[in-house]
Amino acid sequence: MTLRAMLCLSLSLFVLEGCAATITTPKGTTPEALLREGDDLYAVKHYEDAVTRWKKVKESVTAPDIVALAELRIADAQFTNKSYIEAASEYESFRKLHPGNEHIPFVIYRLGLCYFNQITGIDTEQTPVKNAVAMFETYLRQYPSADGVKEVRDKLEVCRTKQLQYEIYVGRFYFRTEKYQAAIKRLEGALALFPKGKIQDETLFYLGRAYLDAGNKRKGEEAFARLCNEFPASSFVPEAKKILKKS
């Protein structure tokens, strides 16, 4: 099933045949009735109330199929409500409890989005980036022919760029505080981890400076030469050439 089809199927779970999107459904106590009440509440954006109904469905032990639907709906409602931490927890729980469910590809994709949507600046907690990368890589590995592959790859590339930015950020911090060996180690590691990174020119620039300031002229010149050869249009090239002339 394609990602687009899975999304449509997941969303269609909230629309019951012959039922209008209102909140006038009489309150019930059966799993089916509670599920319908939650659907109606979700349709009019009463997400928290919908989740409350579906959590009651989860307490049922006589209708496992309906319980599974309720679990997925809870996760989707929290995602739609931008409660990404809670949504991620629910999707992960669903993934563990129902590994063979037809919605698992969609769940893995949504898990990646939950983490992706928690990403902030490069100077903050990087766990969301790491988790998003793990989920997107899992999706691409397990469903390489899915309809959503391009979108997942694009988001994965964004995540990897942010990871590289973080490594450069740390490397620059070490450089500014004159901890040149630490800067070199971090920046060399970034080159190895992200060989196709879009901002490797910046990595090479600060790596060259760190080597030169550490007294290793040969390594510094090698980094700058690579910068000039591989990224001739980079804004870091003119400065690198000036530094080389002075060295």
- The full set of domains in the chain, from first to last, is 165-247 (1.25.40.10)
Cα gap 58→190, rounded to integer Å: 46
pLDDT value of residue 64: 83
118-152 confidence digits (pLDDT tens): 998 888 789 999 999 999 999 999 999 988 899 99
- Residue 155 C-beta-side C-alpha neighbours within 13 Å: 27
Distance from C-alpha of 8 to C-alpha of 1, rounded to nearest angstrom: 11
Q: What is the pTM of this model?
A: 0.82
The pLDDT assigned to 28 comes to: 64
74-97 residue pLDDT tens: 999 999 999 999 999 999 999 999
Tokens of 110: 């949504």
